[in-house]
Amino acid sequence: MNKVPSSVWKNPVHFLAFGLGSGAAPFAPGTFGTLAAIIPYLWFQNLSLPFYLLMLVVTTLVGIWLCDKTSKDIGVHDHGGIVWDEFVGFWLTMTLAPSGWEWILIGFVLFRIFDILKPWPIKWADSKVSGGWGIMLDDLLAGVYAAIILQLLAFFWL
């Protein structure tokens, strides 16, 4: 893992890109970033679907810029500590998720599985798409895969 730059604690753009500092965890920053994403999700889950989707669009667009700027500033493409993409990927996973902590846990686990294993085309996107869009895209795809499985589980379980 790359060293955490001190700018994370001084530069608000880097602080956001590092998931409010959660990406500075000494190990498994993506997992810690996803855990941190649960906190704002607890508020977001109460949004109506149109506002939830708007939040996803805005946080994705902001994330592309945040991740690109931070990556360029610190000179490391997709530094392990840049976890804004995990935030948005998890929130995408949780789109239309049933209420309850068990569903948050299931969404967390599913997102982490797809983010770590990177089945096609996630791995392709991770290696072939550059800049802020590239940093975000693999996690958005992992979020789509996880959301599909979560919805199937909810459909057959509930």
Among 144, 134, 135, 90, which residue's Cα sits nearest to residue 112? Answer: 90
pLDDT at 69: 95
Distance CA 121, CA 133 (A): 15
pLDDT at 30: 93
Torsion on CA atoms 144, 147, 152, 153, rounded to nearest 10? 150
pLDDT at 1: 56
pLDDT at 100: 95
pLDDT at 158: 66
pLDDT at 78: 77
pLDDT at 113: 97
Task: Label residue 7 exposed, middle or buried (CB < 10 Å: 0-12, 13-18, 19+).
Answer: middle
CA angle 140, 143, 147 (to 5 degrees): 145
pLDDT at 127: 79
Could you tell me the mean pLDDT of each successive run of 10 residues in the chain, 158 residues long? 81 94 92 97 97 98 96 86 96 97 98 94 83 92 98 90
> What six digits make up the tokens of 8?
């994370």
Q: How far is CA 60 from CA 2, 13, 122, in A?
A: 24, 14, 17
Q: Where are the domains of the chain?
A: 6-157
Among 90, 38, 88, which residue's Cα sits nearest to residue 59? Answer: 88
Asked if 110 contacts 98 with a C-beta cutoff of 8 angstroms, the reply is: no
